[in-house]
Structure 1
Amino acid sequence: MITRRSTLIAGAALLATPALAQTFPDRPVRLVVAYPPGGNVDFSARLLAPAMSHALGQQVVVDNRAGAGGIVGTEAVARARPDGHTILITGTAPVSIFPVAMERLPYDPLRDFTPIGMTYRVPIVLMVAKDITARTLVEFVARSKATPGGMSAGTAGIGSGAHLAIELFNAGSGANLVHVPYRGTGPALNDLIAGNIPVVFDQLSSALQLHADGRARILGIASAARSRLLPEVETLREAGIVQPELSTTLGMLAPAGTPAPVVEKLRSAMEAALSEGMARERLMSLGAEIPAPAQMTSAHYGAVIREELEIYRRAVQLGNVKLD
């Protein structure tokens, strides 16, 4: 009897899926940002929402659900009804760092979500103060090794993607960099400009203007290929250091169990938004690497999350990083 009832329920769900996909969305879609207004994820959500609204025929409303470094909003989407009307736009930390750096997390990024697609990546860069004379990564590594006690390297904080990049950089190059955590990117960059710290690891988008103004210098970039915005800056891959890609990765997720046709409608709307001239050019001007349409898929973003989990698991072990 139980088996027969379960079979009937499953059959009813399968029959309902095409109808749901045809009518979706029948009301506004909530695009949850697990951070306060003003950051990169919020900026991206508000940039893409109008074009996604046009593609879906329903308004896409940005909903800031901040708390616990992104955990509150991420969990809210994991527990939401899997009908496509509540989705998440997220950065790297909630789905690729917290799961390997925290003992307890109220969601599992692989079990509790269905990937919609990767939005873009912003590479992490190694930035040095003006008085650092090293002109290549090889010279820089040699200088760090020769510095008594190591060379200080600032980041936005313990457990950030930039912090874990330092751990991987040291392991991959033999460099002697000592992590100095700040309370956010701004204070770290201010100290770099003032000459109070020689090195900062950060996102390309935050570092671009300082490099252009000559207030600091980007020495290396952790992307698969050189940035079109900085063709003169070598990649870590070229210098034989760490992973080919270390970045802040943005993507969209739906609750697990969201029907595949609904996910595809959301993915198609995301792709349309990223193809729109103004939004695309704005993101690319900030150093965003937007994937080709063939890579803007649910399967590809799922593979990226799994790859990042393993990369950051190793970095957490190297630095003995534990987040509360």
Structure 2
Amino acid sequence: MNPIPWQRPVPMLCGLTAATLLVAAPLAAQAETFPSKPVNFVVPFPPGGPTDAMARTLAVALTEALGQSVIVENKSGAGGNIGADMVARAKPDGYTIMFGTSGPLAINQSLYTKISYDPATSFAPIIRVGHLPNILVVHPKLHASTVQQLIAQDKAKPASLNYASSGNGASSHLAGVLFNQKAGTQLQHVPYKGTGPALNDLLAGQVDMTFTDILTAMPYIQSGKLKAIGVTTDKRSQAMPQIPTIAEQGLPGYDVSVFFGVVAPKGTPADRIATLNQAFRKALASDKVRSVFAAQGLEPAPDHSPQALGRFISEEVGKWKTVVDASGAKLD
């Protein structure tokens, strides 16, 4: 018996539907399974420093949030440029990301004469984690205890005061350049090879002051070996809320800190950026990560969206170009 005519197309339609489903299924599975292998978390600085410590704290929480191992890889050199360049050139699949700071993500573009990436265009922003405030501290021999007293002392005898930094182009150097710009002072820069040597000479009274991170300075402030003049960020530090900011002492707009942000190579799919962003949000909200970062003095970012980090990087690049140009500092 022959089939009824209207029944004949049915097998063909069913076959087409099945074929369509077979093609669509792997695509859907591919989209749903990211990440399906370990994620490489690049730190563009050596092991043992504060950036490395924060990255390793995050990696543990991210491994749980993503369901895949997050492996920290230290790729140091050229102030963070070597690691940043490696990530900028990596395959944009979400499996290579970087824990960057103010250097490679803002300052270095103006500071280094040879740089192979653009922090504002070579990366896909994932999340701004937060920032570490610095603090201006002086040797007790200085009579100044406030920003205005310090400015008055410098202007009474121009170029008589100096400040130590951890090196040319470091945030502790550029903080002094910005201070001179805002205050009209002539503080003289004395570069050292690292924070330790700079702090040792300050404690010995060989230099007058320095801009350093709050956690490093805190025990010396509490013991009276150093005097705190002001916090360098636009808001007071949660670690030492009793210390006023430099901005609120007559230098509005003065804001210097080391910020931390996570980026991926440009072209990384938006859905993978979203997955990573949500994992970082979950990690940053965990009690363990929050307590560790608070103990390290980290101030959380006000906005964790990828778009907020992208805007912030662009603003910081422009801001530090002006300061670096004024400082005259250049590195190869």
Report the Cα offset of residue 317 of structure 1: 1.7
Is the 8 Å Cα contact of residues 203 and 248 (structure 1) preserved in structure 2? no
Report the Cα offset of residue 148 of structure 1: 5.2
Q: Residue 247 of structure 1 corresponds to which residue in structure 2?
A: 257
Q: Residue 74 of structure 2 corresponds to which residue in structure 1?
A: 64
Distance (Å, rounded) in 2 between the aligned partners of 1:101 and 1:16: 47
Q: TM-score, normalised by structure 2?
A: 0.88
Change beyond 3 A, Cα 1:219–1:167:
same
Report the Cα offset of residue 46 of structure 1: 0.7
Q: Does 1:31 align with 2:41?
A: yes
Q: Residue 311 of structure 2 corresponds to which residue in structure 1?
A: 303
* 2:238 pairs with one of 216, 228, 231: 228
Q: Does 1:172 align with 2:200?
A: no
Change beyond 3 A, Cα 1:226–1:56:
same
Q: Counterpart of 1:238 in 2: which secondary structure?
A: helix
Report the Cα offset of residue 113 of structure 1: 0.3
Q: Counterpart of 2:299 in 1: which secondary structure?
A: coil
Change beyond 3 A, Cα 1:223–1:148:
closer
Q: Residue 238 of structure 1 corresponds to which residue in structure 2?
A: 248
State which drifts further: 213-222 or 51-60: 213-222
Q: Residue 91 of structure 1 corresponds to which residue in structure 2?
A: 101
Report the Cα offset of residue 104 of structure 1: 2.3
Query: Structure 2 counterpart of 1:152, which letter?
Result: N
Distance (Å, rounded) in 2 between the aligned partners of 1:298 and 1:86: 16
Q: Does 1:322 align with 2:306?
A: no
Q: TM-score, normalised by structure 1?
A: 0.90
Q: Residue 51 of structure 1 corresponds to which residue in structure 2?
A: 61
Distance (Å, rounded) in 1 between the aligned partners of 2:117 and 2:252: 29
Unpaired runs of 5+ in structure 2? 1-24
Change beyond 3 A, Cα 1:117–1:146:
same
Q: Residue 269 of structure 1 corresponds to which residue in structure 2?
A: 279
Report the Cα offset of residue 57 of structure 1: 0.4
Is the 8 Å Cα contact of residues 100 and 261 (structure 2) preserved in structure 1? yes
Distance (Å, rounded) in 1 between the aligned partners of 2:191 and 2:223: 25
Distance (Å, rounded) in 1 between the aligned partners of 2:326 and 2:311: 23
Unpaired runs of 5+ in structure 1? 1-14
Report the Cα offset of residue 146 of structure 1: 2.4
Q: Counterpart of 2:99 in 1: which secondary structure?
A: strand
Change beyond 3 A, Cα 1:171–1:240:
same
Figure out how many residues of one structure are paired with residues of the other and give that number: 308
Q: Residue 320 of structure 2 corresponds to which residue in structure 1?
A: 312
Q: Counterpart of 1:179 in 2: which secondary structure?
A: strand
Q: Counterpart of 1:191 in 2: which secondary structure?
A: helix
Q: Residue 212 of structure 1 corresponds to which residue in structure 2?
A: 222
Sequence identity, in percent?
37
Report the Cα offset of residue 175 of structure 1: 1.8
Q: Counterpart of 1:31 in 2: which secondary structure?
A: strand
